[in-house]
Amino acid sequence: DAGVIQSPRHEVTEMGQEVTLRCKPISGHNSLFWYRQTMMRGLELLIYFNNNVPIDDSGMPEDRFSAKMPNASFSTLKIQPSEPRDSAVYFCASRRGGGTGELFFGEGSRLTVL
Amino acid sequence: AQSVTQLDSQVPVFEEAPVELRCNYSSSVSVYLFWYVQYPNQGLQLLLKYLSGSTLVKGINGFEAEFNKSQTSFHLRKPSVHISDTAEYFCAVSETGAGTALIFGKGTTLSVSS
């Protein structure tokens, strides 16, 4: 069974450009999470969805960030315009069922904004 | 809201020595507790979790953790570490109930040397 698939694995872009990160959760999982990892702040929850519905987006840094989940098998995290302080590793994770279930993480998308 | 404090950012140990990674949490409601491990350039993997019942939980790779409600702690232990245990370890908490997100601590880097 395929795990959580994220793309791209690495992205280098210039300040001001639009960045789109993609995530395919594990089939049958009904919750999806976006986290950001930096040395300074550790792992921060950005947003999560249950059954494709955004539940909590209070972790999204600012209006430049947006996330969508148009169906159960796909989600995007978009940054427009990007800034150097957005440089981080962005992780997508999915889970089956409720809060007792294990989160399965993708390998992450490493974003560098110059 | 919940929060997690990992008391040590780095823990260096020699191979075959015992290790304890400390984790304290804060929450006004009942919680589930988790430990995840992250190897370089990979996503996070579940080591173990506490949901209810016995306060001593055993996980993969010989790790165990003990839930202490009065001290709001969930420390991770291993009696004898291997070089291959070198990794970043994250403690996480979530509210009990369906569909809640995990909040992670900032991580502890375990470095095992020979």
Residues near A63 by beta carbon (within 8 Å), at least 6 away in sequence: none
Torsion, CA A87, CA B22, CA B81, CA B47, rounded to 10: -70
pLDDT at A99 exceeding the cut of 90:
no
CA dist., res. A10 & res. A91, Å (int): 12
CA dist., res. B90 & res. B96, Å (int): 19
CA dist., res. B88 & res. B38, Å (int): 5
Model pLDDT, residue A102: 84
What mean pLDDT do residues A8-12 have? 97
Let me know how long chain B is. Answer: 114
What mean pLDDT do residues B88-109 have? 89
Nearest chain B CA: its distance from A16 CA (Å)? 27
From the list A2, A7, A11, the residue with the least C-alpha distance to A91 is A7
Which has more pLDDT, A102 or A92? A92
Handedness of CA B29, B32, B33, B37 (dihedral sign): negative
CB of B45 less than 8 A from some CB of A: yes
Inter-chain residue contact A55 with B106, CB threshold 8 Å:
no
pLDDT at B2 exceeding the cut of 90:
no
pLDDT at A32 exceeding the cut of 80:
yes
Which has more pLDDT, A71 or A101? A71
pLDDT at A2 exceeding the cut of 90:
no
CA dist., res. A5 & res. A71, Å (int): 15
CA dist., res. A92 & res. A99, Å (int): 17
- Name the band, by pLDDT with cuts 50, 70 and 90, for residue A1: low
Inter-chain residue contact A103 with B90, CB threshold 8 Å:
no
Model pLDDT, residue A4: 96
pLDDT in tens, B6-62: 999 999 999 999 999 999 999 988 889 999 999 988 889 999 999 988 999 999 999
Lowest-confidence segment of A13-17, A98-102, B32-36, B73-77 by average pLDDT: A98-102
Model pLDDT, residue B98: 65
Which residue in chain B has the smallest CA separation from A91? Answer: B43
Q: Are strands B108-113 and B10-14 parallel, antiparallel or unpaired?
A: parallel
